[in-house]
Amino acid sequence: MMISSGMNPFINAQGFDRIGMLTVVLGAIVNMILDPIFIFVFYLRKNYDYYRLYS
């Protein structure tokens, strides 16, 4: 995330607008796919002990 948001203005400034837009869109798609996997499959929640004990 930091590399794509930090380097994106430099990519756009060099005239590669489509590549800059593609990196943002791909990052969002990967985030939408991996978030539920990490949260529900690998149990990487914020308060995992609370959910494990009381659900």
- What count of residues does the chain have? 55
pLDDT at 50 over 60: no
- The pLDDT value recorded for residue 6 is 79
Q: What is the pLDDT of residues 16-27, one digit of tens each?
A: 999 989 988 988
Judged by phi (left if over 0) then psi (alpha if -120 to 50, else beta), residue 15 lies in: left
Instruction: For residue 28, give the nearest of 45, 5, 51, 11 by alpha carbon.
Output: 5
Least confident segment among 2-6, 8-12, 31-35, 37-41: 2-6
Stretch 34-48: mean pLDDT, rounded?
76
pLDDT at 42 over 80: no
